[in-house]
Amino acid sequence: MTTTAATDAEEPGAHPRFAEALRALGLEELLARTRRFPEATRTAAEAAAAIGCELSQICKSLIFATDGVPVLVLMDGASRVDVERVREELGAEQVTRAKADVVRETTGYAIGGVPPFGHRTRTRVLADRSLLAHDVVWAAAGTPYTVFPIEPKELVAHAGAALVDVREQSA
């Protein structure tokens, strides 16, 4: 697959809100490393195939409703979130996947393009430790067609995430 530079005026890379967030954080160099694909990279498997990386090198940004309050969970693409572990981590009564309208309202982005930071509202963020197993991970850049590379520790820091163990364990 071919990619285009994020600076191409006809085919912008990162979502404008996310690009603004990167600039505000002093991370504008990530804009030049953002990749845009002609086919959607909405799922972790689609993103890994397009990039040519391991599935676990994809950072999924997932919104959950925790006692009705949105919480962002950053998880590696090869793993699933254990909602019971999230519930325990947060001391919540109930944890469910947020509906698409809640995701858009909370983050400003559609499911499949939610970046790990640069959201419309401030939410609590949990990052699974599995992300730290890589030198670089790839995350959505605000659209279902764009991704950017970042060091996991930098990702966790800029997302303001607490490092936790919330992935499902193999039986």
DSSP notation for 62-91: EEEEETTEEEEEEEETT--B-HHHHHHHHT
The answer as to whether 3 is a domain residue is no
Q: Would you call 68 exposed, middle or buried from its count of C-beta atoms within 10 A (0-12, 13-18, 19+)?
A: exposed
CB proximity list for 49: less than 8 A, separation 6 or greater? none
Among left, alpha and beta (phi > 0; psi -120 to 50; other), residue 131 is alpha
Stated pTM of the model: 0.89
Could you identify the residue written with the tokens 């990162």? 14
Distances (CA, A) of 120 to 1, 97, 110, 111: 32, 19, 12, 14
- Give CA 78 to chain center in angstroms: 13
Is residue 79 one of the residues assigned to a domain? yes
CATH code assigned at 152: 3.90.960.10
Residue numbers of the domain that contains 112? 16-164
Number of domains in the chain: 1
Mean pLDDT by 10 residues, the chain (171 residues): 37 80 88 87 88 95 96 97 96 96 95 93 96 96 93 96 93 57
pLDDT at 121: 92
